[in-house]
């Protein structure tokens, strides 16, 4: 793979930040090293001394004074070494990417820690997308992706999708307007990037089958484009075995995968990770050097200690028993038969936290949600915000069931009883949801 043709001029122009290199050198040196180099502040002057963080299973994470000093200090841009090596082990055991066997010049797998997967995504887009480039994705899609992509001035090509995600035949049709032989020609308009959310899509809840991934991957090989696999709901798949990922099929080194701890450990700690070919991940790290410098050392140490102490099995047990997955698995799959009177329809998701509901008889849900429902403090998102052009009419709403209790849903449904027909439509849907929630085991 020749990655240089994928890089924007800005990304290609990035050079290592001199002091960041010293910080990384220092991190790899023995503690006896006397460094007068990096501009690190003296942590003795910081007010925080030590910490004990209780974990829900009764364990504790203890930051003694020395660890606390490290947690409060600058650290290397790719991530702290113990967390990085833990995550590399995890990726190997979950996905065993074929690129692991490759030489460094040829797309050897690399990883870096990011401040949530959103940071990774934004930096990956800025590394790869030029104004005017054709970018493939299956809309409706995560609004944070659109927020990062649209200002880059690219031309987004929407690939048709259904409840199993992107449709490979439809992608093939779109691509057939180009000659694959032109992909490498200077100034070629053949798309060089495809973005997709393969599991429990936000907002659609759709999950791609292994077969579809393989077919999309073959098209990527034919037209020589990269695939950005944004998979924050990977760990929230309801069925086992979990679906094979694009990363696990990546014989060429054309997958950049973003993972997130937001939905399984904490969204507020802001931690995720990027996995992909080394030449590309190195570019993301250069961007990190110049922006956030690194994800909070405190956050990384806390997460790292949690993960070192736990075997992976216990972690999966933990979130399998947690509310998000339990709620989602029960009432998104078995407890949601289609609504009785044709008011609305949806597909039961196989992963994630979202139900994508089409309201019949409503051309656009924006006013319904942003005015009527917001007055009543309802937590639904009008579907239009996930469209490439957010001003387009959209008959869908996105419901996330990760936070609401049956009581909250009941309360809302009661509040809007007897309002206008449109309100009572929402009311009907919500009381139906509430009914389903009540059937859950405590
Ligand atoms: N600006 C200047 C002039 C600095 O010296 C530094 C840190 N050495 C920064 C910005 C970055 O600071 P922060 O750690 O808050 O990102
Ligand atoms: N990608 C998708 C598809 C998401 O739904 C989200 C969060 O909602 C993110 C990325 C951002 O996750 P993080 O909190 O790791 O930045």
Residues 20-60: pLDDT tens digits? 878 777 777 777 777 776 678 999 999 999 999 998 878 88
Ligand 2 and 292: CB distance under 6 A:
no
Q: How far is CA 379 from CA 176, 374, 376, 398, in A?
A: 41, 8, 9, 9
Q: How far is CA 405 from CA 97, 245, 400, 435, 439, in A?
A: 40, 32, 11, 11, 12
Question: Over the stretch 416-435, which tens digit does the pLDDT of each residue have?
Answer: 454 554 455 555 555 555 54
Centre of ligand 2 from the C-alpha of residue 162, in Å:
21
Specify the pLDDT at position 411: 62
User: What is the phi/psi pair of residue 356, to 5°?
Assistant: -105, 105
Atom of ligand 1 at shortest range from CA of 293: 16
How far, in Å, CA of 133 to CA of 126, rounded?
12
**Ligand 2 atom 9: the closest Cα is on which residue?**
118
Atom of ligand 2 at shortest range from CA of 117: 15
Buried b (16+ CB within 10 A) or exposed e, 119-147: bbbbbbbbbbbeeebbbbbbbbbbbebbe
46 and 39 in contact (C-beta within 8 Å)?
A: no
Whether the predicted pLDDT of 390 surpasses 60? yes
Q: Calculate the CA dihedral of residues 315, 320, 323, 325 and round it to 10 degrees.
A: 120
User: What is the phi/psi pair of residue 135, to 5°?
Assistant: -120, 130
Determine the average pLDDT of the residues in 403-410.
60
230 and 186 in contact (C-beta within 8 Å)?
A: no
Asked which of 78-82, 199-203, 221-225, 407-411 is least confident by mean pLDDT, the reply is 407-411
Ligand 1 and 40: CB distance under 6 A:
no
How far, in Å, CA of 119 to CA of 272, rounded?
8
How do beta strands 134-137 and 193-196 pair? parallel
Whether the predicted pLDDT of 13 surpasses 70? yes
Question: Over the stretch 337-382, which tens digit does the pLDDT of each residue have?
Answer: 344 345 677 777 777 778 888 887 788 988 877 777 666 666 678 8
Atom of ligand 1 at shortest range from CA of 292: 16
**Cβ-proximal residues to 10 (8 Å cutoff; 6+ apart), any chain:** 126
Centre of ligand 2 from the C-alpha of residue 145, in Å:
9
Ligand 2 and 232: CB distance under 6 A:
yes
Specify the pLDDT at position 78: 96
Global pTM reads 0.86
What is the maximal distance between C-alpha atoms in the chain? 74
Specify the pLDDT at position 124: 98
Atom of ligand 2 at shortest range from CA of 267: 14
Centre of ligand 2 from the C-alpha of residue 271, in Å:
11
Select from 271, 282, 262 the least CA-distant residue to 324: 262
Centre of ligand 1 from the C-alpha of residue 42, in Å:
14
Ligand 2 and 272: CB distance under 6 A:
yes
How would residue 407 be classed by pLDDT, with cut points 50, 70 and 90? low
For residue 349, the number of C-alpha atoms closer than 13 Å in the C-beta half-sphere is 32
145 and 135 in contact (C-beta within 8 Å)?
A: no
**Ligand 1 atom 4: the closest Cα is on which residue?**
39
Pocket test for ligand 2, best of 112, 113, 114, 117 (most atoms within 8 A of CB): 117
Whether the predicted pLDDT of 440 surpasses 50? no
Asked which of 13-27, 69-83, 115-129, 383-397 is least confident by mean pLDDT, the reply is 13-27
Where is pLDDT greater, at 145 or 411? 145
Q: What percent of the chain has pLDDT over 90?
A: 57
Ligand 1 and 18: CB distance under 6 A:
no
140 and 203 in contact (C-beta within 8 Å)?
A: yes
Whether the predicted pLDDT of 160 surpasses 50? yes
Given 3-state DSSP classes, what are the helix, strand and coil percentages for the chain, each rounded to the nearest 5? Answer: 45, 15, 40
Ligand nearest to the CA of 352: 2
Where is pLDDT greater, at 270 or 323? 270
Peptide bond just before 203 cis, omega within 30 deg: yes
Specify the pLDDT at position 241: 84
Specify the pLDDT at position 412: 54
In this structure, what token pair is assigned to residue 358? 């089409």
Q: What percent of the chain has pLDDT over 70?
A: 79
Atom of ligand 1 at shortest range from CA of 19: 8
How far, in Å, CA of 359 to CA of 344, rounded?
4
Whether the predicted pLDDT of 323 surpasses 70? no
How far, in Å, CA of 32 to CA of 39, rounded?
18
Specify the pLDDT at position 22: 80
**Average pLDDT of the residues of the chain:** 84
Specify the pLDDT at position 337: 39
Task: Report how far Cα 282 is from the mean position of its chain's Cα atoms.
Answer: 20
Ligand 1 and 22: CB distance under 6 A:
no
How far, in Å, CA of 222 to CA of 211, rounded?
17
Atom of ligand 2 at shortest range from CA of 142: 3
In this structure, what token pair is assigned to residue 127? 């590394």
Q: Calculate the CA dihedral of residues 233, 238, 243, 245 and round it to 10 degrees.
A: 10
Question: Over the stretch 252-308, which tens digit does the pLDDT of each residue have?
Answer: 999 999 999 998 889 999 999 999 999 999 999 999 999 999 999 999 999 999 887
In this prediction, does ipTM exceed 0.85?
A: no
Centre of ligand 1 from the C-alpha of residue 160, in Å:
45
How far, in Å, CA of 417 to CA of 435, rounded?
15
Atom of ligand 2 at shortest range from CA of 201: 3
Specify the pLDDT at position 20: 83
Complete DSSP assignment for 239-271: SSSPPPPTGGG-SSS-EEEEEESTTTT-SSS--
Centre of ligand 1 from the C-alpha of residue 36, in Å:
17
For the chain, the distance separating the N- and C-terminal CA atoms, rounded to the nearest angstrom, is 52
Centre of ligand 1 from the C-alpha of residue 39, in Å:
9
Centre of ligand 1 from the C-alpha of residue 38, in Å:
12
Asked which of 28-32, 41-45, 117-121, 206-210 is least confident by mean pLDDT, the reply is 28-32
Ligand nearest to the CA of 19: 1
Whether the predicted pLDDT of 326 surpasses 60? no
């Amino acid at each position: 793979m020749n990655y240089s043709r994928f890089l924007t001029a800005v990304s290609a122009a990035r050079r290592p930040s001199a002091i960041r290199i010293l910080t990384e050198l220092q991190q790899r040196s023995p503690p006896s090293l006397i460094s007068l180099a990096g501009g690190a502040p003296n942590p003795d002057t910081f007010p925080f001394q030590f910490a004990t963080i209780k974990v829900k299973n009764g364990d504790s994470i203890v930051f003694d004074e020395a660890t606390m000093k490290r947690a409060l200090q600058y650290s290397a841009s790719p991530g702290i070494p113990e967390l990085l090596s833990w995550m590399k082990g995890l990726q190997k055991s979950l996905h065993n990417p074929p690129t692991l066997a490759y030489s460094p010049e040829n797309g050897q797998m690399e990883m870096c820690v990011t401040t949530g997967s959103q940071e990774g995504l934004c930096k990956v887009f800025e590394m790869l997308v030029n104004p005017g480039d054709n970018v493939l994705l299956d809309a409706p899609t995560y609004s944070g992706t659109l927020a990062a992509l649209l200002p880059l001035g690219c031309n987004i090509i929407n690939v048709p999708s259904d409840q199993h995600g992107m449709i490979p035949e439809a992608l093939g049709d779109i691509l057939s307007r180009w000659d694959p032989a032109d992909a490498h020609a200077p100034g070629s308009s053949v798309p060089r990037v495809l973005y997709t959310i393969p599991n429990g899509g936000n907002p659609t809840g759709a999950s791609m089958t292994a077969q579809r991934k393989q077919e999309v991957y073959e098209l990527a090989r034919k037209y020589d484009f990269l695939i950005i696999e944004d998979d924050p709901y990977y760990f929230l798949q309801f069925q086992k075995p979990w679906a094979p990922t694009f990363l696990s099929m990546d014989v060429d080194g054309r997958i950049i995968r973003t993972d997130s701890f937001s939905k399984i450990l904490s969204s507020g700690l802001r931690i995720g990770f990027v996995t992909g070919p080394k030449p590309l991940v190195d570019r993301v790290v250069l961007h990190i050097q110049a922006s956030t410098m690194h994800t909070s050392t405190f956050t990384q140490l806390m997460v790292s200690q949690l993960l070192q102490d736990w075997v992976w099995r216990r972690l999966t047990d933990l979130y399998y028993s947690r509310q998000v997955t339990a709620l989602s698995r029960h009432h998104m799959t078995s407890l949601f038969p289609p609504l009785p009177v044709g008011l609305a329809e949806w597909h039961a998701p196989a992963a994630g936290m979202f139900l994508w509901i089409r309201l019949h008889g409503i051309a656009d849900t924006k006013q319904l949600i942003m005015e009527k429902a917001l007055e009543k403090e309802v937590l639904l998102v009008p579907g239009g915000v996930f469209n490439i052009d957010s001003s387009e009419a959209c008959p869908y709403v996105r419901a996330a069931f990760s936070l609401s209790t049956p009581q909250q849903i009941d309360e809302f449904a009661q509040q809007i009883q007897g309002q206008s027909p449109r309100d009572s439509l929402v009311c009907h849907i919500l009381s139906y949801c509430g009914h389903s929630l009540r059937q859950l085991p405590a």
